[in-house]
């Protein structure tokens, strides 16, 4: 299915999701496929440790936020704040002028951010809005 998705970029199906109760299985699958496919062929990511996701290379949160910001709202990246909590948020955090990671995000995701908010349970999104927008 992965090869089919990579070879048919105009296919209407936009996502393949694989689940495993063992995080090592999805991590290994991601690693193997990243060696086989280039980022311009497939967007490969994990949203949580048990999920592996493969999509069209332009079907990611970064491209979506960029489209909404620039095409619909007339904003620049510098005027955008994005808040994310996992690897599937990486492109969005890289695009935004103000990148915020949640406190319970993996350390590598937190390293992409300009600021780390408290955890979801501690109302981290509200803290980020208060800090940067109010």
Taking the model in full, what pTM does it have? 0.81
DSSP string, 12-61: S--EEEEE-SSHHHHHHHHHHHHHHS-TTT-EEE-SSTTEEEEE-TT-SH
Task: Break the chain into its structural domains and give their ranges.
Answer: 2-55, 61-132
Q: How confident is the model at residue 97 (pLDDT cuts 50, 70, 90)?
A: very high
6-31: pLDDT as tens digits:
676 666 667 888 889 999 999 999 99
CATH number of 61-132: 3.40.50.1000
């Amino acid at each position: 299915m992965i090869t089919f998705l990579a070879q048919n970029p105009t296919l209407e199906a936009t996502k393949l999701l694989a689940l495993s109760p063992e995080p090592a299985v999805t991590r290994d699958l991601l690693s193997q496929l990243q060696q086989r496919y280039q980022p311009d062929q497939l967007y490969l990511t994990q949203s949580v440790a048990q999920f592996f996701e493969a999509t069209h290379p332009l079907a990611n949160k970064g491209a979506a936020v960029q489209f909404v910001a620039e095409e619909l709202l007339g904003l620049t990246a510098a005027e955008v704040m994005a808040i994310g909590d996992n690897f599937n948020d990486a492109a969005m955090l890289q695009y935004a002028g103000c990148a915020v990671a949640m406190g319970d995000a993996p350390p590598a995701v937190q390293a992409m951010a300009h600021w780390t908010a408290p955890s979801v349970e501690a109302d981290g999104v509200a803290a980020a809005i208060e800090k940067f927008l109010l």
